[in-house]
Amino acid sequence: MRICLIRDLGRPIAGGDRTVLAMVDALLEAKHNLVWATSDPKGIVRAAEAFGKGCVLERSNIEIVRCRMASFIPHPYSVAYIAKEVREKYDAFLVTDDIPKSLSGKVISYVHYPHSARIVLNSLIEYEYRKSVNGRLKWFVHKLLFPKFFYTHEISDRIMLIANSTLTKSHILKVLKPKFMQVLYPPIKSKHIYGIFKKEGKSIKGDSAVFIGRVIPEKNIEDIIYVARLIKDRIKLKFKIIGFLEDKAFLEYLIRVVKGLRLRNVQFMINASREKVIDMLLRAKFIIHPAQYEPFGASVVEGMAAGCVPIVKRGVNGPWMDITQKGLYGFGYDTPRELAMILTELIKEYDSLKLDKITDRALNFEEEHFKRSFVGIVNSFLLEAQ
């Protein structure tokens, strides 16, 4: 059976790319006949380099098919275009998030968070579509066009959906009502990171707290800057904001705020290499995730594997519900003042903290577990759907 993966990577580079690379690796290791359909083969290379997954590209049995299209076609419509090009050539299809209507046969989708839920439930709408009249106009057009190309209501039993978190699953059930659905947390190289931490120990740790994620308004990074101002004269703690640049105007705004407040305890590290990100985690004592709505939050798991105490925003989000399990494996906060209080207390206690509970939790999300489970789900569904 030939499986066709339809996905452009690196537009821009994001955590979802890592999941796609792990899925490809898993299917190739299981000897599946896989074809990768993309409009941008170079994007695959960029993502593989960013996440240290060059092994995927070295596989001799992967065929990459380029589907040429106009460069102005945005995601997710680029996926719909590719799907139309390849819809009759393969036995089964693998996509992420939303399912193009043009696909026939068996379809498996790993869902980080679907556009269908954003449109139907009016939830998690990205800031770029809310910040201006032009953005709202784009969203209006998107809402009209999207249902013409993708499913936004109940789907057939030839489609299997795999959700990345409890939040994503609950929203998918409301919108698409799938017959076949499972939750499978994204793949994390937690064992590798933990191995380095175990070797280095706490001696490498400095008085720092990190945020890792895309630099966009939805991540609520202002919480960290506000906390940095609250505690700058009380404790010595540096805040490092590490992430992929997606919204340049927002980054410039954050930098202006930091300069205006004359904060010397906030540092921006944009588009850092994978090696640098891991090094910063190993040297930090805390990882902060301030996003109110986050489907999963892979960076939190990476921080935990590196011996960082996770402090996340309480709410209906992956870091609070799925990763820390409502504070069982970390801490939650509601306001910046509460976050400041938690940090003030924990920095005094960090050296005496036993982190086994936190690091053991991180190991539950190891990539190898994801790959085994993913292949099992794919094999079972393809067999059952025949």
Side chain identity at residue 52, one-letter code? G
| Averaged pLDDT for residues 253-265 | 95
Write down the H helix ranges in 284-366. 298-305, 318, 336-349, 356-363
| Residue bearing the bigger pLDDT, 41 or 278 | 278
Other CB atoms within a 10 A radius of the CB of residue 376 amount to: 14
| d(C-alpha 355, C-alpha 338), whole Å | 22
- For residue 377, the model assigns a pLDDT of 95
- Determine which of 16-25, 107-116, 312-321 has the lowest per-residue pLDDT on average: 16-25
- For residue 187, the model assigns a pLDDT of 95
| Averaged pLDDT for residues 123-151 | 92
Helix (H) or strand (E) holding 92: strand 92-96
- Taken in order of first residue, the domains within the chain and their CATH numbers are 2-187+367-384 (3.40.50.2000), 190-363 (3.40.50.2000)
- For residue 224, the model assigns a pLDDT of 96
Per-residue pLDDT for 141 more than 70?
A: yes
28-50 pLDDT, tens digit each: 999 999 999 999 888 888 888 77
Paired residues of 106 in beta bridges: 92
Per-residue pLDDT for 353 more than 70?
A: yes
Q: Which of 251, 231, 252, 193 lies closest to 348, judged by CA? A: 231
Q: Which residues of 186-205 are buried (b: 16+ CB within 10 A; e: fewer)?
A: bbbbbeebbebbeeeeeeeb
- For residue 118, the model assigns a pLDDT of 95
- For residue 244, the model assigns a pLDDT of 83
Return the percentage of the chain with pLDDT > 90, whole number: 73
56-67 pLDDT, tens digit each: 666 656 888 999
111-131 pLDDT, tens digit each: 999 999 999 999 888 888 888
Helix (H) or strand (E) holding 289: strand 286-289
Average pLDDT, the chain: 92
| Averaged pLDDT for residues 342-350 | 94
Return the percentage of the chain with pLDDT > 70, whole number: 96
| Averaged pLDDT for residues 227-247 | 91
Tokens of 298: 């892979």
- For residue 227, the model assigns a pLDDT of 96
5-18 pLDDT, tens digit each: 999 886 666 778 88
**Dihedral sign from CA coordinates of 148, 149, 151, 157:** positive
Rounded to whole angstroms, what are the CA distances from 348 to 34, 88, 200, 218, 274?
Answer: 52, 62, 21, 31, 30
Q: Which residues of 79-103 are buried (b: 16+ CB within 10 A; e: fewer)?
A: bbbbbebbbeebebbbbbbbbbbbb
- Determine which of 297-301, 351-355, 382-386 has the lowest per-residue pLDDT on average: 382-386
Confidence of residue 54 (pLDDT cuts 50, 70, 90): low
Cβ–Cβ < 8 Å for 194, 359 = yes
Tokens of 301: 């798991």
149-178 pLDDT, tens digit each: 999 999 999 999 999 999 999 999 999 999
| Residue bearing the bigger pLDDT, 274 or 264 | 264
- For residue 59, the model assigns a pLDDT of 61
Side chain identity at residue 224, one-letter code? I
Rounded to whole angstroms, what are the CA distances from 141 to 95, 129, 146, 148, 178?
Answer: 23, 11, 8, 12, 27
Confidence of residue 344 (pLDDT cuts 50, 70, 90): very high
- For residue 127, the model assigns a pLDDT of 83
